[in-house]
């Protein structure tokens, strides 16, 4: 399965945030999305997640012989600031979520405690009001929802930054375990996290996506090179592969 973006555009007033963006994401990989503040990472996620409409272009899921437009239900979105009903306990919310999505979730919702165990959330925590949850605990609940829904595309907007080192390591392992069934796109400003977790690094700059050559990642000064790419984003002659040439 592939997610193919072609000529995707999004403008806010005079500002061209995404301009004729082309890229192809493949199932089984974790993509690290890098870009400077205001580059348009959240805008891209919002377009993919159906939160906002693109101005033009296509976003399609392509299997071996079929293709179709990306639908809202194809996308799971873990927000950097999770929005959850604070008046419910984590357990109550997950049970409610399973009840309203029972057709999609099928048997995966039978063991709610098993899900909380997988997230290493204690019995006490799972029965506490979400209002009392830390940022990281809320992110864990969000992650549980996509384990249940199994959307084709999972977008993660800086989620691991709220986890302590132990939990971040557990979550990274969880993402590696599930990646074979999904397209995972992970937005982060933490370069070390991106190189550690992701199979491919992609830079969003001047409204387009550009794949970073894997050769750069194996070089000892890769961090300096990526910083340089971000600093001189869009300039000709930088050591990166153009997404149009390399991926479509
Ligand atoms: N609803 C909106 N209306 C007008 N402008 C917007 C809107 N949403 C985003 N923008 C603008 O689009 C640009 C891209 O913003 P976006 O939040 O997508 O960037 P980002 O890469 O996620 O940034 P950061 O890394 O700082 O979170 C910014 O200039 C922002 O001001």
Residue whose CA is closest, atom 9 of ligand 1? 43
- CA 229 to ligand 1 centroid distance, Å: 20
Q: What's the pLDDT band for 56 if we cut at 50, 70, 90? A: very high
Least confident of 2-16, 36-50, 57-71, 210-224: 210-224
Contact 141, 98 (CB under 8 A): no
User: Does the Cβ of 243 fall within 6 Å of ligand 1?
Assistant: no
- pTM value is 0.86
Write down the ipTM of this complex: 0.97
User: Does the Cβ of 35 fall within 6 Å of ligand 1?
Assistant: yes
Q: Which atom of ligand 1 has the smallest separation from the CA of 44? A: 18
Q: How far apart are CA 234 and CA 165, in angstroms?
A: 34
Q: How far apart are CA 135 and CA 35, in angstroms?
A: 23
Q: Mean pLDDT across the stretch 144-160? A: 87
User: Does the Cβ of 208 fall within 6 Å of ligand 1?
Assistant: no
Higher pLDDT, 234 or 126: 126
Structure tokens at 43: 């805008």
Q: Mean pLDDT across the stretch 122-134? A: 96
- Residues 156-198 pLDDT 10s: 887 677 677 887 888 888 888 889 999 999 998 888 888 888 8
* 137 Cα distance to chain centroid: 18
Q: What's the pLDDT band for 128 if we cut at 50, 70, 90? A: very high
User: Does the Cβ of 40 fall within 6 Å of ligand 1?
Assistant: yes
- CA 87 to ligand 1 centroid distance, Å: 30
Q: What's the pLDDT band for 235 if we cut at 50, 70, 90? A: low
- The per-residue DSSP string of 120-179 comes to T--HHHHTSBGGG--HHHHHHHHHHHHHHH--SEEEEESGGGGS-HHHHHHHHHHHHHHG
- CATH domain 28-50+72-247 topology: Rossmann fold (3.40.50)
- Residues 7-37 pLDDT 10s: 999 999 999 999 989 999 999 999 999 998 8
- CA 145 to ligand 1 centroid distance, Å: 26
Q: Is 103 exposed, middle or buried (0-12, 13-18, 19+ CB in 10 A)?
A: exposed
- CA 40 to ligand 1 centroid distance, Å: 5
């Amino acid at each position: 399965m592939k997610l193919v973006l072609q000529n995707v555009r999004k403008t806010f007033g005079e500002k061209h945030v995404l301009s004729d963006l082309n890229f192809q994401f493949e199932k089984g990989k974790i993509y690290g999305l890098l870009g400077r503040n205001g580059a348009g990472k959240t805008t891209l996620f919002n377009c993919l997640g159906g939160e906002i409409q693109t101005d033009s272009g296509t976003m399609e899921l392509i299997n071996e012989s079929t293709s179709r437009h990306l639908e809202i239900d194809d996308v799971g979105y873990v927000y950097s600031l999770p929005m959850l009903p604070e008046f419910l306990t984590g357990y109550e919310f997950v049970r409610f979520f399973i009840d309203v999505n029972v057709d999609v979730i099928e048997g995966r919702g039978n063991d709610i405690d098993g899900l909380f165990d997988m997230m290493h959330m204690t019995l006490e925590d799972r029965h506490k009001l979400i209002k009392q949850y830390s940022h990281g605990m809320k992110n864990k609940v969000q992650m549980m929802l996509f384990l249940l829904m199994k959307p084709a595309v999972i977008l993660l907007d800086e989620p691991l930054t709220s986890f302590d080192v132990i939990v971040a390591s557990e979550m990274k392992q969880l993402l590696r375990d599930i990646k074979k069934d999904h397209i995972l796109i992970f937005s982060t400003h933490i370069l070390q996290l991106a190189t550690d977790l992701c199979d491919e690094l992609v830079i969003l700059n001047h409204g387009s996506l550009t794949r970073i050559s894997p050769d750069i990642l194996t070089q000892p000064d890769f961090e300096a090179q990526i910083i340089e790419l971000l600093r001189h984003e869009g300039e000709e002659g930088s050591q990166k592969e153009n997404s149009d040439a390399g991926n479509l």
